[in-house]
Structure 1
Amino acid sequence: MMKKALFCYLPILMLTCILTFSVTAQTITGAWKGKIGNTKVELKLVKSGDSLSGTSYYYISKTNYRRYSVKGYFDPETNAVIWWDDWMIEDHSSRAVMGTAAVDAQLSVADFNCPGETVMLLDGTSNKKESKDADKKNLHLEKITAPQFTDDWDWVIENYTVGANDPYIIDSINQLQGSTPYPEEKQIPIQTIPAPVLAEQPAPAPAPEPKISTTTKPSSPEEKFASRKKVLQTVIPVTAETIELRFYDNAQVDGDSIALFLNGRLIFEHIRLTEQAYTIKIKASDLGADNELVMVAENLGSIPPNTSFMVAIVGDKRYEARLFANENSSAMVRIVKQ
């Protein structure tokens, strides 16, 4: 009789163990609260594969805050976490919260650790996402069960903990809260030049004095790099010895040409983007802890702006991003060693 009862309860016990393992294995998902420097922060993260989605609040009070959509990555093997403010959703703040919104979106790197059964922490550093050289501030966040700010992510987190991890729901909320706008290429209209009207030719005029050419010399890639704003478009965490980068034309092949700078130094130029990958490899030993790869548009092709589809292969991980650049801005990728 006892064996029969045990047999009946065995599936329930197994299911409980599976659910418990699933929940504990995904504990990066949830709400977090603490500080970056002296700024109060509430962060909500949801894990899908190795990727993170969510939202961040920088606040003084519940009515004085700034909110961003968040993207990031989590490495379960090292418990390394990296996330960044992708797009500002709401601004109900005074300048005292963090300063200027466009300048103060953050990129954060932290370790996920559990010093106790019920205590989960994120400890690391954070700085302005548009510059690796900006001052880094200490980051300390603790996982909480009752967030101060309510939004759609609360429902996702609640369902996630009981195993209802639906990627469609996560993608839907990401679309609702928006992301960094990506400009579409627009075909430049062809100008029709009317045929010249034939008329009686006048007597030839005396030859004019030769003029000195005043044609402006095209700017070099270095000059374009220095004069254009760098806009962060994605972040790549590096845990392998080599990073392989593949660049394609993102849309119709239209003659786009780019130059690449690593930490301010020109490493490749005159890269013509096509449907075939232009591949470069970078050794991790040649990188610092935090690095900036900048894609500069050498031209805009026949369909502006200059757009690229980039694939990064780091060990057994693959990252993808659409990059865009024009005459005013260049695409920046932060490459962070973990």
Structure 2
Amino acid sequence: MVPRIIIAFLFFALSIGVQAQNLTGVWRGYFLGNGGTVRYKYEVQIDAAKGGSVKGVTYSYRTTVFYGKAGLQGIYMSKTKNIILRETHMIETKIADGSDACPMTCYLEYSKEGNLETLTGTFTSITSQNRDCGSGTVYLEKVEESEFYKEDFLINKKPTTNKPNNLTVNKPTTVKKPTVTKPATTKTAGTNIKKPTTVKPQSKPAIANKNTTPIAIGKSNNLPTPVEAPVAANTAPEKPVAQPIETPKPKILELRENKLARVFQVADPNIEISFYDNGEIDGDTISVYVNHELVINKQRLTAKAQTVQVKASPVSTTYEIVVVAESLGTVPPNTAFVIIKAGRQRYEIVLTSTEQRNAKLVIEYTPPSSASK
């Protein structure tokens, strides 16, 4: 009896794991050939069935140079979280130079971090004459909408009962302010600020576009320099310490929705953020704000990076990066391929923005001393 109970329990646990990894939906990103510099945009619509089999369609496109739609079949191995997708036949093709389309076979690994689900790995491809057509890497993120149209198997799909909760950001732990006991004989009118121990304020770290003069985030040259007074008995309470002036929120961030794409955790204070065009250079233009401060102003995305340097500190640990689409290029929407480097940590993400919605990511810096506690 005991072995049967154990087997039933393991089967139940495995079933929960498979349900948590729901591959059905729209996946969008890019593929890049080995040794190449041009990223082809890639969208995969998957219909996952019981038992691990999958089917669906893929879209490969690069402005007017290349467009292809293919049918796919594959298999998902829940134990290893690996998936093999094979493009079985071409449904539609539009190739400017008249060359042959090359169906791909993708070898991907499923990963989930918070609410971000990704498929990453490699691909191989062959021509219609079974000749080698190259190989490379694939990066896909699960998204809500298609840049083309959803297939019938997604439109008619019954909604799942275990919907994920709204996107939750790992917020820093709230620290209660220390209670300051005022002397009984002293009363300060017109102020509600609780006074912490006098600390010399530090200006926020400088954030700058590469090859330009660094821009100070929230820096004020008019802040008074506090002087520590000697401790004396029965003296009046000290005046509240002046707080750094926050940069007002730009109007464009008020008018458009700022959709959070992902939260990154870094342990190195030297952060580099690079922006590239995701795919064919088609005229996408962006502006970038860091903590409401404009650091990239209406710059065109190309194969050469637009780079921002951030110097974090234990005083200022959270950085909100918002990408605003100034133009959508010839192939909407505006898509930027972003690389974040902090010491040995490296992250990649594709951000999509429109004239109604900005793309936002958050970087949280955890000083080594805090992480070791």
TM-score (norm 1): 0.39
